[in-house]
Amino acid sequence: MPEQTIISSFSLRSDGNMSLCYGDTKDSMNNRKNFLSLLGIDYRDLICAKQSHETNIVYVREADKGKGALSYESAIPDADGLITDCKNLPLAVFSADCPSIFLYDYTLKAIGLIHAGWRSTKEHIAGKAVKLMQREFNTNPEELCADFGPAIRKCCYEVGSDFSASLDPGMIKRGNRYYFDLIGVNKKELLDSGIKEDNIFDPEICTSCSKDEFFSFRKEGKLCGRLISVMMLK
């Protein structure tokens, strides 16, 4: 069998809350340790960000290993995306409806992991991540693979009619109600960035429909936990 070059995964509700600042956090560190050990990742090496629903994406290196692993305060500030071409640096984002997007340059062996809530989506975070990988790694978008993590889908993501004029392409009207296609808008952003459609993978999991399996901020409110999406080059 060919040698595995990346690890990428996301957790389930049954794995427990992975956040150190949202929901019931008393078991979060142990939850991380147990989940990551199954992937062959030392939980103390995790690189996390203080996600701010913006578009700051950080190129992380060996010196960043462990930032945010043991405390929220030590996480990389004000970032919603991480990229690297260094091996054995596990990147993480946390979510409870917002999609995570995994990016993998299979030719140059570089990765990116982003948290694409509606505010970040509005400001084109997916496209900015691709451009940063082009600038830092000389990535060819045609040789990028992109995967979506679980997220609230257009079936459940109800918004107001004035949600945002700049997000109109993702707005869907059903009767007198409006819904937003968060995944659809991000997929278009990835396609417009040059990623081939055949290289974009969507598990089609709705966190709101499947709240027994995933955390959903829309269904549970401010006290809900967070799942973890993690990615690492080997």
Predicted local distance difference test score (pLDDT) of residue 46: 98
Can you tell me the distance from the alpha carbon of 92 to that of 100, in angstroms, rounded to the nearest whole number?
Answer: 10
pLDDT in tens, 10-25: 999 999 999 999 999 9
CA-closest candidate to residue 230, choices 100, 91, 103, 106: 91
> How much is the pLDDT for 166?
67
Encode 126-195 in three state secondary structure: HHHHHHHHHHHHCCCHHHEEEEECCECCCCCCEECCCCCHHHHHHEEEECCEEEECHHHHHHHHHHHCCC
Task: Give the model's pLDDT for residue 98.
Answer: 97
Name the average pLDDT for the chain: 95
pLDDT digits (tens, 9 = 90+) for 85-136: 999 999 999 999 999 999 999 999 999 999 999 999 999 999 999 999 999 9
Return the exposure string of 178-191: e unless at least 16 CB atoms fall within 10 Å of the residue's CB, then b.
bbbbbbebbbebbb
Stated pTM of the model: 0.96
Token pair listed for 24: 């019931």
Q: Give the amino acid at 18.
A: M
Which tens digit of pLDDT belongs to each residue from 147-191? 999 999 999 999 987 777 667 789 999 999 999 999 999 999 999
Residues 6 or more apart from 77 whose CB is under 8 A from it? 49, 50
Token pair belonging to 74 = 């030590």
